[in-house]
Structures are given as structure tokens and as C-alpha cells.
Amino acid sequence: MGVEYGEGEASLQRFRPSDTDARLREFVAAYREATNEGRKSARDALTMDDFYTLLTFARRSTVAALRERDPTILRNGIDALTTIDQRRVDPRDHAWAAALVAWASSRVGIDPQAALGEAAELGSPETAELLRRFADDPPDDLNDWGYRLVDGPDGPALVLDDGAEYDPSVDLLRVATAIGAVFEADAYERAEVAVGSDLPDVWLRSGDPEAVARALATVRAGAKVHASLGPDAHRKPDEQSLMAFLVEVTDPASADVLAASASCPDGDALGVAAGQLCCVVIGHSFVMGTKPFETAGALERFREAIRYELDAAQ
């Protein structure tokens, strides 16, 4: 097929239009109009990379359709699902995309039972079974599939949801996104945000365990930022990790305890507290033997920018 998305275009949180969408719509339309034999030949000719590009197109169709209130956009996404050969992808990825389009269907004026049931006729037996399952039982709650619908600056968006309790009194998603932008202004790129995230105590070993446990018990909401190191910053950027855990607690003392307890034995850690917000940043290599990009004390360069964002949110 020879079509792929560019850097960052798979994100459903920071969705932006792509010329690739138009090319895939043409492919999907031709596939839909082909004979059964023609569709099978088309599936057989696709590579695994092609399948994952089409799965990205299907997921992107949910956000595009919600923003435009256009059922035609989502129908293209549904049809893209019928091109997938489950024997050559992880079936869970196929189900994940199907869950999103099934959830979005009724929200843009499509009957999921009819639309997915009709589309099932265009795919392989395995695909037909998957689509009929979601036709009969479309998801009501995106949280079950790891997403949360949010109002982004450009319209509806889908942000990753890790499933923990999430009841912030401030716009924690905006703060996390702003912290991601701080990282992207440095050596990092593609800062992805998730909400409903825990702050694991493995990164809090500089503090008294009992005090840390009491402070964690006061968390009312958490978010996480994960940024990728840019390709020019390190000889093995894919083996580096930068994570920021952002939590809102019920009292400033707990935020202070968590910030002071930040610890990373094989890289660098930074804890910043302001009011009832705390951000713990961890930079390390997750591959044994690879020197971490962030060495002791290096993350201090982010302290003032992060503190500014925490203060601005309250």
C-alpha cells in the first residue's frame, strides 16, 4: 500500500488532520466496492505495517468524526477494520480499534448494530466475528478500553486513561500537557499524557515508607507524562525513558512528602510540590548496561518551569 502516518499522527489526544487520511479513504472505498475475491486479494497483498496503518486510520476516524459530527468519516473507519487479517496482527489491537469506532457510532448518528453488522460481510471470518460482537454489544464506557473523552483546545479528543481514581479539583490534564511541552522544548519529543494514573512508590524510596504511604492515601487524582528522547540526543534514544507523575492530594503537606521522596537508583529523579500538587519526574534507561541520558542532578533544569505550571493551576 505504501502509505504511512508521520511522527505523532497516531495520537488521539493531540489530533491533527493528515493528508494520509485522504489516501486511505480512497483505498478503503476501492476495497469496499470490490468483489469478495478482490477484497481477499487486497488483504493478502497488505503487509503487517499496512494493517497497523489502517488500524491507526480507524482510531483516528473516531476523533475526526466527533469533531466534524460527520458519520461518513466514521463509516470509513469501520470499513478500514474489515481490511485487517487477524492472523497477521495482534487481535487485541484489532479489538481495541473496533471498540473505539463502536463506541463513537451512536455519538455521531450511526446505529452500531446495523453499521458493524453490514461491515462484517466485507471481512475475513475472524473479522466478521469481531465486528458482530461489537455490533451486538457496543461499549458504553471508554474507560474499559483505556481512554477518556475530553474537551481539547481544538475539540473533542481521546486521552489515555490508566483506570485509577480521577477526581481532580483542578485541570490536571492541562497541567500534564503543559509539563509535556516543557520536555518537548528540551531534548524530548512526543510527550503523551494519561489520566487516572498512580504514582508508584518504587519512585519514592528517599522518604520514610510509612510517611509515603500516608501521603499516597491522600491522592485524589493522578496523571502521567511519558516523553521520548529525540534521536540526536543519545546513541540509543529508544532505550531511554522520561516520565512525570502528577498528582493532586488533599493537603500541601502530603505533596511535600511525595516530592521530597522522589528517587531513581539508575538515573535521576526530581520532585516538585506546590500547594496540593506534586510532580515526580524520573529519567532513566530501562535497558541494563545502557548509560542513562539523565544523570544525577540533570533534571533540576526543569524545576522552575514545572513549579510555574503547578502554581498557575491553583
Quick: pLDDT tens for 23-39.
999 999 999 999 999 99
Joined grid coordinates for residue 238: 529508544
CA angle 45, 49, 51 (to 5 degrees): 65
Residue 116: predicted pLDDT:
96
Name the residue among 162, 236, 223, 152 with its Cα closest to residue 191: 223
| Portion of the chain with pLDDT greater than 70, in percent | 100
Residue 106 near residue 55, CB atoms below 8 Å: no
Query: What is the reported pLDDT for 233?
Result: 86
CB 284 within 8 A of CB 268: yes
Secondary structure of the chain: what % helix, strand, coil (to 5)?
50, 20, 30
Residue 256 vs residues 90, 205, 292, 302: alpha-carbon distances, Å: 43, 14, 27, 17
Residues 228 and 99: their CA atoms lie apart, in Å, by 27
| d(C-alpha 199, C-alpha 87), whole Å | 37
Model pLDDT, residue 175? 97
pLDDT at 290: 85
Residue in the structure block whose three cell numbers are 457510532: 105
Please check the confidence at residue 273 and state whether its pLDDT lies above 90. Answer: yes
Judge whether residue 236 has pLDDT over 90.
Answer: no
Statement: residue 289 has pLDDT above 90: no
How far is the C-alpha of 52 from the C-alpha of 17, rounded, in Å?
18
Q: What is the pLDDT of residue 152?
A: 81
Please choose, from the candidates 40, 9, 38, the residue with its C-alpha nearest in 3D space to the C-alpha of residue 23.
Answer: 9
Closest by Cα among 12, 18, 218, 27 to 101? 12
Yes or no: say if 241 and 224 are a contact pair by the CB < 8 Å rule: no
Q: What is the mean pLDDT of residues 225-249?
A: 93
Angstrom distance (rounded) from CA 82 to CA 95: 12
Give the per-residue pLDDT at 51: 97
Residue of higher predicted confidence among 256 and 239: 256
pLDDT tens across 128-175, in order? 999 999 999 999 989 889 999 998 878 999 999 999 989 999 999 999
As a whole number, mean pLDDT of residues 69-76 equals 96
pLDDT reported for residue 245: 98
68 pLDDT above the threshold of 90 = yes
For residues 278 and 253, the answer to whether their CB atoms sit within 8 Å is no
Q: Cα(113)–Cα(205) distance, rounded to whole angstroms? A: 51
Q: Residue 297's closest CA among 256, 267, 276?
A: 267
**pLDDT of 234:** 84
In the prediction, which pLDDT does 305 show? 98
Q: What share of the chain in percent tops pLDDT 90?
A: 89
Residues contacting residue 62 through CB under 8 Å, at least 6 positions apart = 12, 74, 77, 100, 101, 103, 104, 158
Q: Give the model's pLDDT for residue 162.
A: 95
By three-state DSSP, how is residue 195 classified? strand
Query: Is 2's pLDDT higher than 90?
Result: no
Q: Looking at the predicted structure, is the pLDDT value of residue 8 above 90?
A: no
Statement: residue 274 has pLDDT above 90: yes
Kindly indicate the confidence band of residue 70, based on its pLDDT and cuts at 50, 70 and 90. Answer: very high
What average pLDDT is seen over the chain? 95
Grid cell 539508575 is found at 266
* pLDDT > 90? residue 232: no
Residue 113 has pLDDT above 90, yes or no: yes
Residue 25: closest CA among 80, 89, 99, 107: 80
